[in-house]
Structure 1
């Protein structure tokens, strides 16, 4: 049976998958597989069904992506978010360039140039932004030491993590922890 791939922007967490799953099901479409940034539905989806689904997804804060380059950029972001926020980076067996090239079946230099051209920032800067948001989250939970956070996110040292954190946020990790209402950025806004 034929399937249709749907590429969806702003899917950044398991809750997003649940909302998108419910939204697609409400449109009477049968989901074969769903992951961050992508859903595969059974059958061919008509133009009218796509339009209705697009409107329903927009109401939930998501966007259907039909441009192939935008789909690749969304795929890059989804892989990075998955790796940084939903995996253990200290257990990652390969670097991000190999991970992205392998999962997307494209040359990393092509992906890097496309990402920079489309997003106005590099993949490396995007990874750093995601890692810093993850550090903020872990600091707010106050369950791990800075050394444990550094290890968990694959930093070479606490000093490297602290320097990168200060460069991005303007605060040291300890100053950030002291804030009563620390500012965090929603993952889909990075």
Structure 2
């Protein structure tokens, strides 16, 4: 049964090659190496193996993430994605209240943890998700920008347009006019530099 290691700072394809090489030096054969995670075949690592992996990764600038923290990060992402992409109307509660009550942790702790692991804040992650949802709705071309702004919980069309431009470099109308409308996978919307990326 494969199990997963979560690795901090593993954010590029070169990083994947370095991590894979380090694991192979320790006679561990990764089944899948993705950004931020490695799936290994077999049972869990022994404590000694885990320590060896941790030391080897730290020597090349990476860090194993504790399972509990990884689960919390994934839970936060899932709550945001659920709210943005799969809920028909905006929540009456602030996102921070929703996350804290769902996970039974203080929001400041969750916020620090998320920023430390992901390199952006929960709020920035939420904005990136919202902009991807707006892109999707613009591509469908079934609603006006005003209706999209209302449905997404923005205070005004101007607020949505300003955030869209700041995040993508384009206004919503410029995006709609593009021949090819670039979109991103929902689980790939963080940027380790802490900046909000363009497409």
TM-score past 0.5 threshold? yes
Secondary structure at the counterpart of residue 148 of structure 1: helix
Deviation at 1:152, TM superposition (A): 0.5
Verify the 8 A CA contact 1:88 1:153 in the aligned structure 2: no
Structure 2 residue aligned with 1:88: 88
Structure 1 residues not aligned, in runs of 5+: 1-5, 10-46, 52-64
Runs of 4+ that moved beyond 3 A: 47-51
Which position in structure 2 is the counterpart of 1:77?
77
Shift of 1:89: 3.9
Q: What are the residue-to-residue correspondences of 1:22-101 with 2, within 5 Å?
A: 48=42, 67-90=67-90, 92-101=91-100
Greater displacement, 179-188 / 165-174: 179-188
Which one has a larger percent helix, Structure 1 or Structure 2?
1
> What TM-score does the superposition give when structure 1 sets the normalisation length?
0.65
Q: Deviations over 1:20-41 (max 9, x none)?
A: xxxxxxxxxxxxxxxxxxxxxx
Larger Rg over CA atoms = 2
The CA deviation at 1:93 is 1.6
Structure 2 unmatched runs, 5+: 7-40, 46-64, 190-199
TM-score, reference length from structure 2: 0.62
1:118-171 residue CA offsets vs partner (Å, 9 max, x unmatched): 001000000000000000000000001000000000000000000000000000
**What residue in structure 2 maps to residue 131 of structure 1?**
130
2:91 is aligned with 1:111: no
d(CA) in 2 for partners of 1:124 and 1:186?
Answer: 18
User: Across the two proteins, how many residue pairs are aligned to each other?
Assistant: 133
Q: Which whole-Å CA distance do the structure 2 matches of 1:66 and 1:109 have between them?
A: 19
> Could you say what the CA RMSD is over the residues aligned between the two structures, in angstroms?
2.2
